[in-house]
Structure 1
Amino acid sequence: MKTIKEISEQLQQTSNPEPWMRTLEDDHRAGVKKELQKWYRNYEKKRQLEQMLQEKINFDNRYRTDGGALVAGVDEAGRGPLAGPVVCAAVILPDEAPQLLGLNDSKKLPVQERNRLSTIIKEVAISYSVHIQSAERIDEMNIYAATRESMEKAVSTLAACPDIVLADAMKLQVGCKSESIIKGDAQSLAIAAASILAKTTRDQLMNRLHEEFPMYNFKKNAGYGTEEHVEALHLHGPCAHHRKTFEPVKSILEGR
């Protein structure tokens, strides 16, 4: 009779249900039952992730005019904060990308998973581009126009020319057909990939700003208007990276 450790190791090397696993269901040992239940939980989770990945691929495939058409996904991070840039990313993925199992809207993933997927996206992408739109430019244009400009610049600097651009809830003027997709990062694999690159890039930038301006705790709030952040604004005043047209930054500046 195999030990629980041996059974655990064998299960770890098994990708799909196999006939020999049925005998484990009759094994009286609690440890064996625990390992078997754990395997089935992980198996079901993987199946769900595979289904989610295929659904996102199928969504993007609807917009391909032919088998060789390149679909670019575009998304942003940082439209709502009081400080820091808006970061936009554009990504063109290959037709098949099994390495991206688990890829989803960046807001639904923990930090470590976003960072892991960011590395993989950069490795497998046909092309990707990231554009950083400063707080100063946001104040000049307004947040909507500045985000749209940043998205368009991200598309324009892709090394490969897309045949169609899918943008998350934004109408773009680019050199090809484009579609605005509501909640696109939850439906499109390319948009989800762009959301990951935009979010991870912006988080890195805000961590650097935190080192320069630790009083605002950008590392924790990413520039969003948390109670702690607003208190620091009243105490220290805004810095060069705060958006002067956003409230309460605008009112604080007017009161000084």
Structure 2
Amino acid sequence: MNSFEKMTVTGIKEYISQKQLQSYPDLIPALKEDPRTAVKKIGESLEKRVAARAKEVDRIVKMKSIEAGYYQSGILRIGGIDEVGRGPLAGPAVTCVIILKPDSSRLYVNDSKKVSKKIRESLCEQLLEDAVDYAIGQVDNDLIDSLNILNATKKAMTDSLNTLSVKPDLLLIDALHIDSEIPQKSIIHGDATSYSIAAASIVAKVYRDNLMQIFHEQYPQYGFDHNMGYGTAEHIDALRKYGPTPIHRSSFIQNLGL
């Protein structure tokens, strides 16, 4: 057991900053037994961080239980597929299909809307490292206007599947069914309950957000760099002032009286 009696509070903080979270349980007892209140609080803080990590590990195990059952039944390659950008007034809808190695187990994977931008971008890189294969599909605003958003989304999903070099044995999909010979399982709220679908939603979200950053450079007055094309008050005000751009969805903005 470590003894912190001869160390200052600042020294203890610096010492702990160099340690990995996995080593915290070895440090906590001595910190909590220290007579100094500030040191005790450090121990309590580390204890909460350890508990939070354990809770997150359990959540990911539960989230992977759907995939685990299929792996145990003999399925080798599972593809998760999801879409982002169904609701915005501007920009494309984007889909991603991703086949992950069975041992992929990245903490904080979740529905992309529940993950901060910083963590989402970091997870995207990690998940692509874990991918056996992945592909992006997208449909622009004109196709969305022509087909309607549901059919356009399904087309983007089919396009992404057809782009894969490695085909999955099973497709897990968030609350949809698409035209494909690959067996598929539709899961309600799949992006919050299936690890593979959540991973796909994260990769698709990062890809689409990057596209909207590019569109922001072309049309800076609409705030695409932060609203991502969604109908915020600022975005709608800009539409009324400047009119629609070539990337706006006519079928979406017609109800705004523009």
TM-score by length of 2: 0.90
Cα distance in 2 for partners of 1:217, 1:13 equals 40
- Partner letter of residue 223 of structure 2? N
Mapped pair 1:84 → 2:91: yes
Tell me the residue number matched to 2:35.
28
Matched-pair contact (CA < 8 Å) for 1:82–1:249: no
1:169 paired residue among 167, 175, 178: 175
Q: Distance in 2 between matches of 1:164 and 1:26?
A: 53
Is the contact between residue 171 and residue 180 of structure 1 (CA under 8 Å) also seen in structure 2? yes
> What residue is the counterpart of 1:155 in the other structure?
161
Count of paired positions: 251
SS at match of 1:62: helix
Is contact 1:233–1:249 with CA below 8 Å preserved after alignment?
Answer: no
Any conservation in 1 of the 2:29–2:43 contact (CA below 8 Å)? no
**Distance apart, 1:16 and its partner CA:** 5.5
The aligned runs of 1:30-179 (5 Å cut-off) are 30-64=37-71, 66-98=73-105, 100-179=106-185
Secondary structure of the residue that 1:15 maps to in structure 2?
helix
Query: 2:61, 2:99 → 1: CA distance?
Result: 16
- Please report how far the alpha carbon of residue 65 of structure 1 lies from its aligned counterpart in structure 2 after TM superposition: 6.5
Q: Is the 8 A contact 1:117 1:196 kept in 2?
A: yes
- The root-mean-square deviation of aligned C-alpha atoms, in Å, is 2.0
Which amino acid counterpart does residue 163 of structure 2 have in structure 1? T
The unaligned stretches of length 5 or more in structure 2 are none
The answer to whether the Cα contact below 8 Å between 1:244 and 1:250 also exists between their aligned partners in 2 is no
* Unaligned ranges ≥5, structure 1: none
- Residues 207 and 10 from structure 1, CA distance in 2 versus in 1: closer, same or farther, beyond 3 angstroms? closer
Give deviations 1:156-184, integer Å, cap 9, x for gaps.
21221101101111111222101111100
The letter for the 2-side match of 1:87 is V
Displacement of 1:42 after TM fit?
1.0
Identity %: 35
Write the distance in 1 (CA, Å) between the matches of 2:22 and 2:135: 35
C-alpha separation between the residues in 1 aligned to 2:253 and 2:243? 13
- 2:187 is matched with 181
